[in-house]
């Protein structure tokens, strides 16, 4: 048995065991948070919900209707749309006209388009203007989330816990079709969900924070020069005594479809934000690259073992490889079971279990896509987000360099989530 054989076997075992440990930790975190804390006056303190939009989203109307019908006594919804000519502007107006909001609603076009941050961060800063005087809590919502009626109350309850400065949910993809792109995204996201929860990476699609932290943690200053709003939060909170808390009940189910060609740039951008802003990036990168590299090395080792007639060694390599490959869909189904149990209990959203064939294709494809996206994210110096191209010269060196009309076919094709 050669050194390559031993190394491949050991790496396959280590990767498989590490994945099992992370999923087990994710399961424990979700189980430990299953109890419903008591609702207090602090949970129902005045709140502001900010929704930033550029371009159309498949379920935007449902998002708006759900956002204005929250079971919360005192909140305001601020919707910042890229411009009055943006297709989202009329969609928002139509959705509001068909509802009877339980809250104050303000809809504004983006007033300024700075060249030193993403338009998402610019919209967010506009939506948070003067918020400290009006609200104790700020909640961020994305257009691919249709919140339950208790969404805002649940965020407030999580924030009321001692030491919690930021409460966050996450997303789960339940593809409506059997497309490879949709299931590759679902497979990749299952692993990303586990890593985000275990490494304390918040998700801006469902996120709340105490309004006093905006200045105390320097978030306004950081957002004025940043690409994204969420991944940088843990580092900003360091030393403040406040923590990020994951709320399993706020896992949002997304039923959108996606093509493989549009998925790869999206995954790359998610990883780029981790590289720029989160201290766990080296761990994420090493872990993401180790699996595809080890599989390729194992294939080489198998060929060499067969060539020299080492049947026992080849069988050992095959056994380790089979165990790793089998673990991919198995872990996905374990994660899915935890998620479905959580959302069925907390949010009342019944989501069917995934077809095994789709899970196998999606998890295997995700491994290949993931490795390539990590390598690209390591060297990326620009990215395009909803038709807007940004040059990246470090975490706080974001420059807007080109922009398409949000209503153009090219920009619409690039739309996966709210800006």
For residues 150 and 247, the answer to whether their CB atoms sit within 8 Å is no
The answer to whether residue 333 is domain-embedded is no
Residue 9 dihedral angles phi and psi, to the nearest 5°? -60, -45
Query: What pLDDT was estimated at residue 419?
Result: 39
CATH number at residue 116: 3.90.550.10
Domain count for the chain, please give it.
1
Query: What pLDDT was estimated at residue 359?
Result: 97
Query: What pLDDT was estimated at residue 45?
Result: 87
Query: What pLDDT was estimated at residue 42?
Result: 62
The answer to whether residue 58 is domain-embedded is yes
State how far the Cα of 231 lies from the Cα of 205, in Å rounded to an integer. 12
**Which H or E run contains 385?**
strand 382-385
The answer to whether residue 403 is domain-embedded is no
Domain that holds residue 238: 36-258
The answer to whether residue 215 is domain-embedded is yes
Query: What pLDDT was estimated at residue 344?
Result: 65
Q: How far is CA 58 from CA 31, 61, 91, 185, 206, in A?
A: 32, 8, 11, 17, 18
Mean pLDDT over the full length of the chain: 91
* CA angle at 80 for the pair 77 and 85, rounded to the nearest 5°: 135
* CA angle at 78 for the pair 73 and 80, rounded to the nearest 5°: 165
Q: Which residue do the tokens 């470090």 mark?
A: 394
The answer to whether residue 85 is domain-embedded is yes
Query: What pLDDT was estimated at residue 83?
Result: 97
127: Cβ contacts below 8 Å, ≥ 6 apart: 48, 50, 51, 52, 78, 80
Is 361 strand, coil or helix? Answer: helix
Q: Is 282 exposed, middle or buried (0-12, 13-18, 19+ CB in 10 A)?
A: exposed
- Termini Cα distance of the chain: 53
The answer to whether residue 54 is domain-embedded is yes
For residues 163 and 75, the answer to whether their CB atoms sit within 8 Å is no
- In total, the chain counts a number of residues equal to 419
- Each as own residue / partner, the long-range contacts of residues 194-198 (CB below 8 Å, 24 or more positions apart, any chain) are 194/22, 194/23, 194/26, 194/335, 195/22, 195/280, 195/284, 195/287, 196/170, 196/246, 197/26, 197/29, 197/170, 197/246, 198/22, 198/25, 198/26, 198/29
The answer to whether residue 289 is domain-embedded is no
* Ordered DSSP codes for 282-345: HHHHHHHHHHHHHHHHHHHHHHHHHHTT-HHHHHHHHHHHHHHHHHHHHHHHHHHHHHHHHHHH
State how far the Cα of 108 lies from the Cα of 179, in Å rounded to an integer. 37
State how far the Cα of 252 lies from the Cα of 260, in Å rounded to an integer. 22
The answer to whether residue 176 is domain-embedded is yes
Query: What pLDDT was estimated at residue 175?
Result: 94
For residues 252 and 328, the answer to whether their CB atoms sit within 8 Å is no
Query: What is the sign of the dihedral through the CA atoms of 220, 79, 276 and 20?
Result: positive
State how far the Cα of 290 lies from the Cα of 304, in Å rounded to an integer. 21
* CA angle at 375 for the pair 370 and 380, rounded to the nearest 5°: 115
Ranges of residues in the chain with a pLDDT under 50 are 347-348, 409-410, 412-419
């Amino acid at each position: 048995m050669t050194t390559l054989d031993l190394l491949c076997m050991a790496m396959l075992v280590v990767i498989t065991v590490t994945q099992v440990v992370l999923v087990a930790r994710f399961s424990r975190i979700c189980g430990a948070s299953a109890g419903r804390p008591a609702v207090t006056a602090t949970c129902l303190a005045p709140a502001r919900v900010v929704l930033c939009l550029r371009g159309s989203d498949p379920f935007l109307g449902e998002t708006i209707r759900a956002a204005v019908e929250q079971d919360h006594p005192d909140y305001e919804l601020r919707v910042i749309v890229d411009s009055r000519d943006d297709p989202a502007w009329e969609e928002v107006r139509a959705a509001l006209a068909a509802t009877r909001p339980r809250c104050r609603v303000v809809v504004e076009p983006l007033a300024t388009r700075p060249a030193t941050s993403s338009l998402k961060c610019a919209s967010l800063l506009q939506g948070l203007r003067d918020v400290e005087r009006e609200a104790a809590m700020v909640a961020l919502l994305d257009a691919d989330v249709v919140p339950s009626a208790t969404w805002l109350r649940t965020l407030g309850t999580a924030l009321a816990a001692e030491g919690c400065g930021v409460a966050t949910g996450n997303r789960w993809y339940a593809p409506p079709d059997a497309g490879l792109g949709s299931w590759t995204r679902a497979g990749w996201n299952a692993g990303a969900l586990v890593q985000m929860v275990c490494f304390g990476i918040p998700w801006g699609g469902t996120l709340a924070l105490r309004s006093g932290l905006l200045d105390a943690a320097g978030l306004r200053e950081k957002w004025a020069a940043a690409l994204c709003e969420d991944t940088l939060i843990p580092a900003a909170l360091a030393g403040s005594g406040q923590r990020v808390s994951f709320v399993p009940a706020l896992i949002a189910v997304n039923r959108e479809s996606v093509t493989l060609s549009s998925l790869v740039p999206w995954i790359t951008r998610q990883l780029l934000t981790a590289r720029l802003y989160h201290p766990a990036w080296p761990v994420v990168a090493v872990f993401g690259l180790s699996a595809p590299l080890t599989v390729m090395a194992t294939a080489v080792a198998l060929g060499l073992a067969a060539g020299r007639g080492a049947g026992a060694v080849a069988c050992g390599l095959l056994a380790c490889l089979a165990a790793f490959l089998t673990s991919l869909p198995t872990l996905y189904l374990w994660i899915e079971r935890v998620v479905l149990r959580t959302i069925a209990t907390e949010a009342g959203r019944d989501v069917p279990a995934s077809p095994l064939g789709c899970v196998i294709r999606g998890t295997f494809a995700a491994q290949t896509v993931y490795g390539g996206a990590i390598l690209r994210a390591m060297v990326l110096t620009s990215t395009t987000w909803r038709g807007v191209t940004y040059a990246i010269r470090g975490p706080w060196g974001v420059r807007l360099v080109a922009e398409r009309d949000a209503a153009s076919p090219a920009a619409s094709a690039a739309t996966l989530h709210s800006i």
